[in-house]
Structure 1
Amino acid sequence: MTYDLVVLGSGPGGYAAAFRAADLGLSVALIERHNNLGGVCLNVGCIPSKALLHVAGKILEAEAPSHGVQFAKPMIDLEAIRHHRQSTVDTLTGNLKLMAEGRHVAVFHGEGQFDSSHSIVVKGDTEQRLEFKHAIIAVGSRAIRLPFIPYQDPRILDATSALQLERIPKHMLVIGGGIIGLEMATVYQSLGAQITIAELGDQIMTGADKDLVRVFEKANKSRMDFLTQTQVTAVEPTPDTLKVRLKDAHGEQTLNVDAVLVAVGRTPNGRNAGIPEIGVKLDERGFILTNDQCQTSIPNIYAIGDVTHGPMLAHKASHQGHTAAEVIAGKAVDFQPLAIPSIAYTYPEVAWVGLTETSAKQQGIAVKTAAFPWSASGRAIASGVTQGKTKLIYDPETERVLGAGIVGAHAGELLGELTLAIEFGATLEDIALTIHAHPSLHETVGLAAEVGAGTITDLPNKQAVKRQPSGRA
């Protein structure tokens, strides 16, 4: 069997590449080692976690100040919650199967192993060898495992097993203060668990600016304990608890918990599937090296998604998938985004895109910021979500928007306008002169721009012309 294109991996990048290539007239085979299409994201990652976070949000909203409406204590039905999670996954993976069939993409389930630069062996119920003119590697990443963790103990969870919601522990330690750990902490806390976060770095949610993270921490100080610059050195199972040893600048301590969630990051799968053996070049961490067309060191083989450099995000992978498919089909395109948005779907959400203040400082780039506090937003006050902030990061000379950060309810939904603004090279004035609906949360984007442009009237204006009070000389 010979195909114009074989795609190894059916996650958001893989299926996007396969479907785009098929739409452009190529014969396509898609290889997936699991029973369902969709990869980690759809099956055991971003989609099921968001289904659970939706439930968590409803619980946390009900627990917030009621403003005259009293709610009874939530009755938790774990089986029904698990059903919601799985039905969400089944709907999307089922749709992928139908779209593959409709596009005449040949789907092969099994482990794919390259045996040359033009062939791959699929080991499933039977062994099949596929010949191809081009291939796209979309094998993703896997969770990093710590050597001292007793993973055989069922009380030890990772990002996949935590989604199963087998039980809600009384006290759960989350090792790692990144987005995945904080999202699952939000779910388990809303369902009744006491949460402690242990983060080795000096702040949780690395990548986001500290002023945004502080808003999140303040909103959750009664729900979670945040231990930064803290190393977990051992986890010892006992019949009743997991005994965890922690080390920080003040010394060592022992914490007894009922479950441990290990969420210390992910590592690329670049050394798998015979990839290095056929000559595809990797860096020392196992990332596949690619150019702006997603092309590897072997001209007819491309790579996309988590296995390549850049943020490990599904939306990055899907756009790379489109690029690779279009290049293979002969189109003059490349992958050079100015902004890739990041969102922590926590409570409240934290979202950022483009240049952050932290990265600007690290790179020696001069920037200015303009921020609008949600405590001055009519919609936020009316909705009881004043713990929020919208911040723009811009060039001090041209006032071109270089980055943005938002913390607050539905922050991720407000990021689209700012991502587009960065890609289009918009300035503060462009955003400030764009009429935003009032009252709305996205109005805070326009108001933040007005702060920077010096036209704000919803806050005291530091750039206002100073004059004597009326009636004085």
Structure 2
Amino acid sequence: MSSYDVIVIGSGPGGYVCAIKCAQLGLKTACVEGRETLGGTCLNVGCIPSKALLHATHMLHEAEHNFAAMGLKGKSPSVDWKQMQSYKDDVIGQNTKGIEFLFKKNKVDWIKGWASIPEAGKVKVGEETHEAKNIVIATGSQVSDLPGVEIDEKTVVSSTGALALSKIPKRLVVIGAGVIGLEMGSVYRRLGSEVTVVEYLDAVTPGMDGEIQKTFQKLLKKQGMTFVMGAAVQSVDVSGGKATVSYKMRKDDSDGSLEADTVLVATGRRPQTDGLGLEALGVALSKRGQIETDAGWKTSVDGIYAIGDAIAGPMLAHKAEDEGMAVAETLAGRHGHVNYGVIPGVVYTHPEVASVGMTEEALKTEGRAYKAGKFMFMGNGRAKANFAADGFVKIIVDAKSDRILGAHIIGPMAGDLIHEICVAMEFGASAQDIALTCHAHPTYSEAVREAALACGDGAIHA
């Protein structure tokens, strides 16, 4: 029986980061993972492979729509789907092998297999039981079930199946207009599929800034995606390799249906805690199946902690990473901290969408006085030169102090631009602080400065 200071269960972004940080802080650490490769859902069947396909298909879009205008003449490229899949798989392999290298470099033991916790301080993997002073549950999440819909990963697929279809579907129906649905819908629309998104609510990307939602849906429609909003899916019937999606409109109870070659179920995810033995241990769970923790990520059982998608909060890889590092600091006797008010969210379509902090809708509900400064990318020289002038930057500040409360961006490189706002918010900066900071020209980031100027006397190029 081996003994450790910390055993981390799960090697996704939260788990592997936590394990490496624990080892760096001098704790004898092991990480349990049952997959053949490290990295969890994110690196194997989530964030990384989807970004590879988004990048590849964006290059196709540029070749088909913008190359000729730039004087790049020639026949548009054809799609070798098998080769694109190989490219995606190679990207996955490079990343997962990278985590394995980091484990060896930092002396983190990889215990291969699926874990259970028979009692506090013990982790069982296969026939072996390992002792640990502390256990960190970082088991991530799995696809949520949708009543009336059976996922077979052939005709009706989850996000995992959507990454590895045997062929490009002529007609794709996406159930759910969240991040996963819109990203994968964009991939297949660029590849030539007829894409229809069916959403229960009346707006895409639920929870985001209202103006972003409207602009985003409008731009996706312009790209050829079709939307059926306010529709509750009742069933998906499969026959002869084809699917019929039946739905009911919420506003008038009218029925509708769609025919598809492939249906992607993208209605959310739920914590993956099956098989750990949490109920027998007495680890408290919420009604949604999330592991309940205190402010220090400690569960109701001493010596057992939980992070990432397994607990409350946004199911984001970087949120899990922050929690993983914070728990490691705590276990090493330091002070672990996560600022949940400054966790950005990004949709990697084109244009990208990124947000952090409060929305106008949330502030109105609170009754808090605020100002919003907005700048359109149409006024940004770099964006116009790169056929990327759709969208805007919006910065929201406290009406009295000018302190930044949030920001919402739809446009080129939004996922990178948002981090200037994140750093500013961490330091309690005002919009004027950003407005008075010199930004290189010509860059997309000038749009952030212009939005900050719009919070005061006004943008220059608007």
TM range (shorter): over 0.9
User: Which residues in structure 2 correspond to 1:422-461 (within 5 Å)?
Assistant: 422-459=425-462
Partner of 2:182: 182
User: Structure 1 counterpart of 2:268, which letter?
Assistant: G
Q: Who is 2:246 aligned against?
A: 245
Give SS of 2:244's match: strand
Matched, 1:204 2:207: no
- CA drift at 1:272: 4.2
Are residues 1:58 and 2:71 paired? no
Q: CA deviation at 1:302?
A: 1.0
1:334-413 pair list within 5 angstroms: 334-413=337-416
Aligned to 2:166: 166
On the 8 A contact 2:140/2:272 being kept in 1, the answer is yes
Check if 1:73 corresponds to 2:76: yes
Quote the offset at 1:234 in angstroms: 1.5
Provide the C-alpha distance between the structure 2 equivalents of 1:210 and 1:79, rounded to a whole number of angstroms. Answer: 39
Amino acid at match of 1:95: G
Q: What is the deviation of 1:455? A: 4.4
Secondary structure of the 2:159 match is: coil
Q: Which amino acid aligns with 1:445?
A: V
Pair 1:32-2:33 in alignment: yes
For residue 227 of structure 1, report the CA deviation from its aligned partner. Answer: 1.3
| Equivalent in the alignment of 1:308 | 311
Shift, 1:240, TM fit: 5.9
8 Å contact 1:431–1:449 — kept in the other structure? yes
Paired residue for 2:235?
234
Superposed CA offset, 1:160-218 (max 9, x none): 01111311111100000000011100111111111000000110111221211222222
Q: Within 2, Cα distance between the matches of 1:196 and 1:425? A: 42
Q: Distance in 2 between matches of 1:283 and 1:158?
A: 25
Per the alignment, in what secondary structure is the counterpart of residue 354 of structure 2? strand
Paired with 2:316 and 2:415, the residues of 1 have a C-alpha distance of: 14
User: Counterpart amino acid of 2:386?
Assistant: S
Contact 2:33 2:114 in 1 (8 A): yes
| More displaced 10-residue stretch of structure 1: 9-18 or 373-382 | 373-382
Distance 1:401 1:29 in 2: 41
Give how far 1:299 is off.
Answer: 3.0
Q: Could you tell me which of 320, 327, 347 is aligned with 2:330?
A: 327
Q: For 1:421 and 1:38, how far apart are their aligned partners in 2? A: 30
Structure 2 counterpart of 1:414: 417
Q: Which runs of 5+ in 2 are unaligned?
A: none
Listed as ranges, the gaps of 5+ residues in structure 1 are 460-473
The letter of the residue matching 1:192 is G
Q: Which segment is superposed worse, 361-370 or 389-398? A: 361-370
Deviation at 1:76, TM superposition (A): 0.3
AA in 1 matched with 2:276: A
Note the alpha carbon deviations across 1:368-387, whole angstroms, 9 max, x for none.
21100111111112222111
Task: Tell me the amino acid that sits aligned with residue 236 of structure 2.
Answer: V
Aligned to 2:120: 117
* In 1: Cα distance, 2:211 partner to 2:194 partner: 25
**Cα separation, 2, equivalents of 1:142 and 1:92:** 21
Describe the superposition over 1:135-173 as per-residue Cα deviations: whole angstroms up to 9, x where unpaired.
Answer: 101011110111311323721111001111311111100
Q: Give SS of 1:394's match.
A: strand
For residue 235 of structure 1, report the CA deviation from its aligned partner: 1.2
The DSSP-based 3-state class of the residue aligned with 2:184 is helix
3-state DSSP of counterpart to 2:69? coil
Q: Secondary structure at the match of 2:363?
A: helix
Instruction: Identify the range of structure 1 (229-238 vs 442-451) with the bigger mean alpha-carbon deviation.
Output: 229-238
> Aligned partners of 1:29 and 1:146: how far apart in 2?
36
> Take 1:420 and 1:360, find their aligned partners in 2: how far apart are those partners?
21
Query: Taking structure 2 as the reference length, what is the TM-score of the superposition?
Result: 0.96
Contact 1:216–1:347 (CA under 8 A) maintained in structure 2: no
1:396 is displaced (CA, Å) by 0.6
* Residues 210 and 271 (structure 1), Cα distance of their counterparts in 2 relative to 1, 3 Å cut: same
Distance 1:231 1:362 in 2: 27
Contact 2:204 2:217 in 1 (8 A): no
- Following superposition, the deviation at residue 358 of structure 1 comes to 2.5
Change over 3 Å in CA distance of 1:300–1:50 after alignment to 2: same
Q: How many residues get paired?
A: 456
* Counterpart Cα distance in 2 of 1:253 and 1:333: 51
Distance in 2, matches of 1:62 and 1:74, equals: 7
Contact in 2 for aligned 1:292/1:334 (Cα 8 Å): no
What corresponds to 1:465 in structure 2?
none
Verify the 8 A CA contact 1:82 1:165 in the aligned structure 2: no
- Residue 136 of structure 1: aligned partner: 136
What is the match of residue 149 of structure 1? 149
Letter in 2 for 1:367: Y
State the distance in 2 between where 1:36 and 1:185 align: 27
* Superposition TM-score, scaled by structure 1 size: 0.93
**Counterpart of 2:191?**
191
- 2:363 and 2:458 mapped to 1: Cα distance? 26
- SS at structure 2 position matched to 1:425: coil
Q: Which moved more, 1:428-437 or 1:65-74?
A: 65-74
C-alpha contact 1:28 1:105 (8 A) present in aligned 2 = yes
Q: Superposition RMSD on alpha carbons, in Å?
A: 1.5
Measure the CA separation in 2 of the matches of 1:63 and 1:367: 43
Q: Secondary structure at the match of 1:453?
A: coil
Asked if 1 retains the 8 angstrom alpha-carbon contact of 2:308 and 2:319, the reply is yes
Q: 1:95 to 1:195 in 2, by over 3 A?
A: same
